[in-house]
Structure 1
Amino acid sequence: MENAARMNSTITLNQSAILAPQTRQSPMRPLSRNWLVQRFSLSPSHNYDERVIQRATDAMKRQVGSELRPAAVMIALAERNGELHVLLTKRATHLKHHPGQISFPGGKVENSDQDIVETAIREMEEEIGVCTNRDDLLGCLASLPTVSGYLVTPVIAFVDPSYTPVIDSNEVDTLFEVPLAQFLRRKAIRKQPFLVRGNTYDIYAMSYQEHLIWGVTAQILHALSRQLSLN
């Protein structure tokens, strides 16, 4: 859930192949809240890439006695002038899992959480100080297993565009927004080979300005974009 300038030393990713095509594509028309509510409600959900799920499953098999831990991320959407924007964070560089990568606000389920939706709402408020409630909930995507041992459920909700962020520097380095339409462009999120500990895998990735969005975050956005696809 990495800035284009900083990649984990165990990973080699050809970012130039991702960065170049994105700058030549024209943006789509703005997407409003009303459009998304109708489109999301009427469109069938899109499953994740089976190879991504298999990689996570294989990683868990190598950890004897380990079970996937439930977690949630919040796909927070702010509407300005009729256009929805997705809130994304750059994770703090000292974190154990996915340091410096681009991600949604989120984290593991706590015993005090009523359900997975409460986990996503709580984590977003704790990490970036942005609040929402169940009245502004759009829905959830299918849960996705990760190689770090979590079963992540993406929750989608609208937030007040006039929010004032309060960033927890222990978790988050930067908060920024991307127009939702950017993720729905044709082939905006594409598979790219990368090397991890001597093995080559295909992952989803895309660039936006100076940010490289890849891994679990890109996989979730790809599933959402397929569900909402205009092409």
Structure 2
Amino acid sequence: MIPPAPGPAVSPVIAPLSSLPDFDPRRVPVVGVDDHLPAVPHEALTPVALRARFATPPMWEPEVLLEKKFMDREPAHASVLLGIVLREQPMVLLTERTAHLSTHSGQVAFPGGRADPEDASPAATALREAQEEVGLSPAFVEVLGNLPTYVTGSSFIITPVVGLVQPDCVLQPNPYEVADLFEVPLAFLLNPANHRRHVYDRDGVHREWFSMPYHDGAKTHFIWGATAGMLRNFYRFMRA
């Protein structure tokens, strides 16, 4: 668990990050940090370099594709938008889901959601969901391409859609779905020195995952699970 900052004696209320009973990923010990791996260089994170990488993708293998199943439900296709906001320092747009949602409540996530039959492609799903969830108009997004599908323990088959987001976009988060909307430097997320490994063994259950906690000066955002796994795959894609 990340130690709380010094403050008053009254402990803050921490929202649960898992629907599993007696399981809080923030309390699971860190078994390793991948600071021995090279970071993606800053020159590879420019819009020109990102467009070129997706236009001529390298040969590569994703590292994380399938989580251990923890929910008995029919598989469902979904898409998320890995949106890179083109500020002076490229930033990744992320949300914190509200606590009452039926799946992955309280967790850090990319904007996105379940595919509709009317959606023409995974990119169409990601753009529609991003508009519904955070008010991001598709006119402000340049889609670069997709990463491999990622299957969550809740049986969602997720296609991450990578896109460049114009910084002058106006966002209006849906308060029913989004408790917080924030940005994290792309360079931070693509530096394995910030990738922590966790292993959980209890009652015959074995799970492994990455976390990438990010402190923005006011709050620590605990990025883990599917979101961290997709970002780890993006790192592998960018370093291939």
Give the TM-score normalised by structure 1.
Answer: 0.81
Distance 1:168 1:124 in 2: 10
Partner of residue 62 from structure 2, selected from 47, 50, 63: 47
Partner of residue 87 from structure 2, selected from 73, 76, 80: 80
2:11 corresponding residue in structure 1: none
Does the C-alpha gap of structure 1 residues 166 and 45 become closer, same or farther in structure 2, counting only changes over 3 Å?
farther
Partner of residue 10 from structure 1, selected from 22, 37, 44: 22
Contact (CA 8 Å) 1:10, 1:196: kept in 2 or not?
no
Contact (CA 8 Å) 2:40, 2:238: kept in 1 or not?
no
2:51 corresponding residue in structure 1: 37
Distance 2:87 2:212 in 1: 23
2:131 corresponding residue in structure 1: 125
1:228 corresponding residue in structure 2: 238
| Cα displacement string for residues 59-110 of structure 1 (whole angstroms, at most 9, x for unaligned residues) | 57xx4xx5411110011111112x3211000001110101100000111111
C-alpha displacement of 1:33: 1.1
C-alpha displacement of 1:132: 2.5
Greater Cα offset, 197-206 or 111-120: 197-206
Give the aligned CA root-mean-square deviation in angstroms. Answer: 3.0
Alignment of 1:1-231 (within 5 A): 5-6=14-15, 7-8=17-18, 9-13=21-25, 14=27, 17=30, 29=42, 31-40=45-54, 41-49=56-64, 53=66, 55-56=68-69, 59=70, 63=72, 67-81=74-88, 83-133=89-139, 136-194=142-200, 199-209=205-215, 210-229=220-239
Distance 2:203 2:132 in 1: 33
Does the C-alpha gap of structure 1 residues 197 and 152 become closer, same or farther in structure 2, counting only changes over 3 Å?
farther
- Matched residue type, 2:50: L
Q: Which runs of 5+ in 2 are unaligned?
A: 5-13
Q: Which runs of 5+ in 1 are unaligned?
A: none
Contact (CA 8 Å) 1:10, 1:197: kept in 2 or not?
no
Q: Identity of counterpart residues, as a percentage?
A: 29
| Cα displacement string for residues 27-72 of structure 1 (whole angstroms, at most 9, x for unaligned residues) | 96473111222234343343243xx62623xx57xx4xx5411110
C-alpha displacement of 1:16: 7.0
Contact (CA 8 Å) 1:132, 1:158: kept in 2 or not?
no
Distance 1:187 1:32 in 2: 21
**Match of 2:104, SS?**
coil
2:9 corresponding residue in structure 1: none
C-alpha displacement of 1:17: 4.0
**Match of 2:231, SS?**
helix
Q: Which one has the bigger helix percentage?
A: 1
**Match of 1:137, SS?**
strand
